[in-house]
Structure 1
Amino acid sequence: MLSTETINTLIFNSFDEIETVWRSFEESSDNTAFQNFDWLKHWYDSVGVASGCRACLVVVEYPVGQPVMLLPLGIEKRQGVNCLVWLGGAVSDYHGPLLSPQLSENFTQDFFQKAWQAIQVSLPAYDAILFEKMPKDIGAQLNPFVSLSCIPTASNAHFTYLGTQFDGFLKAKRSSKSISTEKRKHRRLQEYGQVEFVIASDSKQIKRFLADMIAQKVRSYMEMGVANLFESKEVCDFFNVLSAQAIPLGFVHLSALMLDDRIIATHWGLVYKKRFYHLYPTYEQSELTKYAPGGLLMWHLFEWCIDNGIEIYDFTIGDEPYKDQWCDQELKLYDYYQGKTVLGLCYAWAFKTSRLLKRKIKHTPALWKVAQSVRAFLGKIRH
């Protein structure tokens, strides 16, 4: 019978201290690309430290010397409240732990609850827990953190299995009429010049494609009236440094659709454990928009993934309608808010209430349509 006394909890405050343990555990663990060591270390060095976040990297061992769970946590101050959060912030679509593949076989939910209480005692003091965008499943097992008193995240994630043949994948997902319409748009695009799918491979291409991706994404944020992720210098540094270092390793995938020497669409994503993460698709707003250059680039990405043995194409978080055309799998995401002090209780309640309201609006078509219109209008006023 397992007991909390048999668990060994180790707390590390720097990535350098935990690197060897993390990399070794990550190789066989169930986790997403957003818990990759390099991803989170670059985020922490670029964004986390600048925001005053303090790393609390937890390794849970059972028995001693045998890691079964790794929690990339941090404590950051928000409006004077010390909050326990998953590291990775806004750039990470999935937050959560790295799990031993055998974890669910050896640990019951009741045991996890007791173990989680023991872990919290080992952590530095904080006022509130703000855990967001936690996937229900991690690898082949249930994420133990969704057994807490969670609420659904405002949006879910979507993915699809690719198969082994590109043509077969297209026919399985789209009607013959739809495929013909898209191919006709692609032919019309070729009337303007040579159309080419290019994957960034050298420093010059990386800098150019990334600059265009960010510029096109910023324009999109402005049009929608949403927060501009790239307004932060630290976030831009994160993308620049990670791209330069991780593209040669195959972890970051940066591509563009070129019309002669003109970039008309881009995509920045991740490749990890036979899964492609579709993260930042963009396109140039021009007379060519009606020919769907972003859609053509996505077709090229599907084909590249299939040719390179990628099994899953993950569109990640967001319930955009176009994802329904390609995805037959939904990954539910959850948030957990819990106060530990009087101040933290008030802060966690406010967060939870706002997230419940956001989900209500997003899942009520009439309200969501109004919210999108108001948001876009306010965005135009601000810019």
Structure 2
Amino acid sequence: MPQATQAAFDARVDVDDESLAGAKPAPAVVLDDVRIATHGDLASVEREWRAFEQVADCTVFQSFDWVSIWQRHIGERNGVVPAIVTVRDTQGQLMCLLPLGIEPGVGRRLTWLGTVLCDYNAPLLAPNFGQRIDEARFKDLWAKVCRTLQADPRFRFDVVYFDKMQKVVGSQANPFMVLGVMPHANGAYLTALGADWESFYAGKRSSDTRRRDRTKRKKLSQFGELRFVTATGTDIATSLATLMEQKSKAFAAMGVTNIFALPGYRDFYNALAQRFAHASRLDVGVKPAAVNLGLIFRGSYYHLLASYDGGELSKYGPGAAHMHHLLQYAIEQRCHTFDFTIGDERYKQEWSDSHIVLYDHIAPATLRGAILAARLYAVGRVKHFIKQNPALWDKAYKLRAALGALKRRG
């Protein structure tokens, strides 16, 4: 893992924490005294954002590094305008930071900045935010934020589309749940890690399963020595190129969009890996059998991308063998949680002990937005219905793959 991996999150900025979140319990605020500011330039709030994320409740997807890298490589190319909102009390203490953006189109959407690749969307909240802003106050605060945004031509929007939100942000309730939400099509999974790999593995897998794992690993080793490699230096770019090649083939087989063919996506992941992500491989001899990209943030390992060789080695579970090494690596890094992030794949469910339900909030702001909101709502409900029905999802999955095969032949 690059040296900047933890330094990016653990090194504290020279800003007094008391000026950010307050060291003592604070009383409920009077909304008329709350100061709301909007920012269309990430650089103007970088120093304060980096300092606030050290004490605020948030996930890695709200870190300045993640959001700024996404905006630079993907957002700007797609005309997304940052609309960062800061909310302060009368003492100037930052109570929350909302990393929002305006997406262009037939209707302008107010979204979480970088939402398309963020597995969890959320505000950054001061630790005492929930104590100071109750549900009723938050509804009024949000209405005030919307009015402030709409008053600036840069930030005007037709519909609010906030997806992939959890019920909680860190240790407190997510205030956006009070605005009215519906379940997202996908959930997410995570597992608590133990003190050592062997006891964790034994507790998660039956003796029969562990025996089958050993058999597959032995067959893999017949193709060459198995080595778990954490990429460093120039090897990071090489490993990412392999991941993208393997993943692109998998996308084609599934009949889904190859994100690495979209403008800026390769640049985004390469920049992410060079800045603070963990890239690793399972090599079988000289062949990269499986590759992964993950992030470590506040004791959690976030599993972002994974791929494996689709050739002869695939019969012996290189992806599963790589996962064993990743879980062991996370334990050795003293992570307390392994977060498989969004997606309902079976292997995630088999390893996990917690399921995260995600939610979407959709609200029109104009007549045009009402039409767009109706479509977003309908699509979301249909996706959720299909994915929560195993028989329907199996049929949809096979149909998508078949259509993808026809498209490749054409």
TM-score range, shorter chain: over 0.9
TM-score, normalised via structure 2 length: 0.90
* Matching residue within 113, 116, 120 for 1:94: 120
- State how far apart, in whole Å, the 1-side matches of 2:261 and 2:223 are: 34
Which ranges of 4 or more aligned residues in structure 1 deviate by more than 4 Å?
Answer: none
- State how far apart, in whole Å, the 1-side matches of 2:130 and 2:301 are: 25
> Who is 1:303 aligned against?
328
Pair 1:72-2:99 in alignment: yes
Question: Percent identity, aligned pairs only?
Answer: 35
1:339-369 deviations in whole A, cap 9, x for unaligned? 1110001101110111001100111122111
- State how far apart, in whole Å, the 1-side matches of 2:386 and 2:224 are: 44
> Who is 1:264 aligned against?
289
- State how far apart, in whole Å, the 2-side matches of 1:14 and 1:352 are: 31
- In the TM superposition, 1:281-292 aligns within 5 A as 281-292=306-317
- How many pairs were matched up? 376
User: Letter of the aligned partner of 1:76 in structure 2?
Assistant: E
> Who is 1:37 aligned against?
64
| TM superposition shift of 1:89 | 3.1
User: Letter of the aligned partner of 2:82 in structure 1?
Assistant: A
Pair 1:116-2:146 in alignment: no
Pair 1:235-2:283 in alignment: no
- In the TM superposition, 1:1-383 aligns within 5 A as 2-78=29-105, 80-123=106-149, 124-203=155-234, 205-244=235-274, 246=275, 251-383=276-408
Whether the 8 Å CA contact 2:77–2:263 is kept in 1: the answer is: no
- State how far apart, in whole Å, the 1-side matches of 2:136 and 2:355 are: 27
Alignment gaps of 5+ in structure 2: 1-27, 150-154
User: Letter of the aligned partner of 2:84 in structure 1?
Assistant: L
User: Letter of the aligned partner of 1:214 in structure 2?
Assistant: M
User: Letter of the aligned partner of 2:192 in structure 1?
Assistant: Y
| TM superposition shift of 1:62 | 2.0
RMSD (Å) for aligned C-alpha atoms: 1.1
| TM superposition shift of 1:304 | 0.8
SS in structure 1 of the partner of residue 57 of structure 2: coil
- State how far apart, in whole Å, the 2-side matches of 1:232 and 1:210 are: 16
Whether the 8 Å CA contact 1:156–1:330 is kept in 2: the answer is: yes
1:287-333 deviations in whole A, cap 9, x for unaligned? 11111011111100111111111111001111112112111111111
- State how far apart, in whole Å, the 2-side matches of 1:72 and 1:106 are: 20
User: Letter of the aligned partner of 1:242 in structure 2?
Assistant: L
| TM superposition shift of 1:102 | 1.5
User: Letter of the aligned partner of 2:242 in structure 1?
Assistant: D
Range 17-26 or range 90-99, more displaced = 90-99
TM-score, normalised via structure 1 length: 0.96
- State how far apart, in whole Å, the 2-side matches of 1:192 and 1:125 are: 58
